[in-house]
Amino acid sequence: MTKRELKQFIGVNALRLFIVVTALFLILFLYVIISKGGKMISWSFIFESPKKYMTEGGIFPAIVGTFWLTIISIGISLPLGVFTAIYMVSYGKPAWFVRFVRVAINTLAGVPSIIYGLFGLTVFVQLMKFDVSILAGSLTLAVLALPVMINASEEALRGVPQDFREASLALGATERQTILRVLLPTALPNILTGTIISIGRVAGETAPILFTAATFYTRRLPTSVMDEVMVLPYHIYALMTEGAHADKQVPIAYGTAVVLLALVLLVSAVAIIIRYNIRKKRKW
């Protein structure tokens, strides 16, 4: 083996080692969560309310809460993010304003999530008088997801070849028609990728909803967006820090973690299937 071949051999195997370590972490992570929480999973665990100060029963109210918070916050931040990105990409005037917006977005992206929680408490809960509710929590999460949404959408729109825009305009289309019929449909799969990432982030966040949406314990399901709800991540936190029956609460916490993982996976899977179908129709 020559020196160059030896270097190649060492290099490739070092890379192999790294990917094995990464994979190990991932597998270990899933193993720990599922081995500790998997046995809790049953129909009654998923579809029943907690009983006896959360030492028995299921987590259905928390699943419903997390579901609504995720859906509504994405429903708010997706259009906001996409329209903002369209403006920045297609019009971008005045330049100083767009620059200002971009700096603001990047700053927002770096803010710790607990600060979003305080912001939501001040603005949505107190100032706008939404109280602790699904609405206030969704809005707070929407603000949290917005930077990711805008950046992903802007990236996706800029990725559409300039050729398509010129072709559309040269056929006598207006700028609006070009955006709606060419730019957006072409960028949609990549916008959805950004959405998938946001779903995972939003569903798992605890801090922003701590003061804005989450309640410690309720057996009731929400009937409107003005209700406070149980949510999965906060339920885990509560089980691990409150109460006197750790031996009964800890397994429920791990079971809840499994459900949260599965829920995020499920919602993401739906988005991935939608994206796959769009891509199949318009490959280039």
Partner 1 sequence: MVNAHIRTEKLNLWFSEKHVLQDVNIPVYDKNITALIGPSGCGKSTLLRCFNRMNDLIPEAKIKGKVFLNEQNIYEPRIDVTRVRTKVGMVFQRPNPFPKSIYNNIAYGLKIRGKKKSVINETVEKSLKESWLWDEVKDRLNESALSLSGGQQQRLCIARALANSPDIILLDEPTSALDPQSTAKIEELCMELKKKVTILIVTHNIAQAGRISDYTAFMYLGDMVEFGETKRCSPFQKINGPKRI
Catalog residues that contact partner 1 under the rule CB under 8 A.
161, 163-164, 166-174, 177, 181-182, 186, 281-284
- Give 91 or 216: the residue with its C-beta nearer to partner 1: 91
Structure tokens at 212: 């804005």
- Extract the tokens encoding 87: 């403006």
Comparing CB distances to partner 1, the nearer of 186 and 212 is 186
Map tokens 């029963």 to a residue: 57
Distance separating alpha carbons of residues 48 and 52, to the nearest angstrom:
13
State which residue, 178 or 256, has the beta carbon closest to partner 1: 178
- The SS3 of residue 104 is helix
Report whether 56 contacts 50 (CB < 8 A).
Answer: yes
**Shortest distance in whole angstroms from residue 149 CB to partner 1:** 23
Distance of closest approach, residue 271 Cβ to partner 1, in angstroms: 20
Burial of 131-144, coded b for 16+ CB within 10 Å and e otherwise, reads ebbbbbbbbbbbbb
Nearest distance from residue 283's CB to partner 1, in Å? 6
Measured from the CB atom, the residue of 190 and 256 that comes closer to partner 1 is: 190
Smallest CA-to-CA distance from 74 within 200, 259, 222, 233 is with 200
Q: Is 4 exposed, middle or buried (0-12, 13-18, 19+ CB in 10 A)?
A: exposed
Q: How far is the CB of 102 from partner 1 (least distance, A)?
A: 19
- Least distance in angstroms from the C-beta of 79 to partner 1: 23
Least Cβ distance, residue 282 to partner 1 (angstroms) = 4
- Residue (122 or 174) nearer to partner 1, CB: 174
Distance CA 62, CA 86 (A): 36
Asked if 250 and 239 count as a contact pair (C-beta separation under 8 A), the reply is: yes
Cis-peptide into 94, omega within 30 deg: yes
Amino acid at 118: L
Max Cα distance, the chain (Å): 74
Residue 140 or residue 168: which is nearer to partner 1 going by CB? 168
Query: How near is the Cβ of 143 to partner 1 at its closest, in Å?
Result: 33
CB of 71 or CB of 182, closer to partner 1: 182
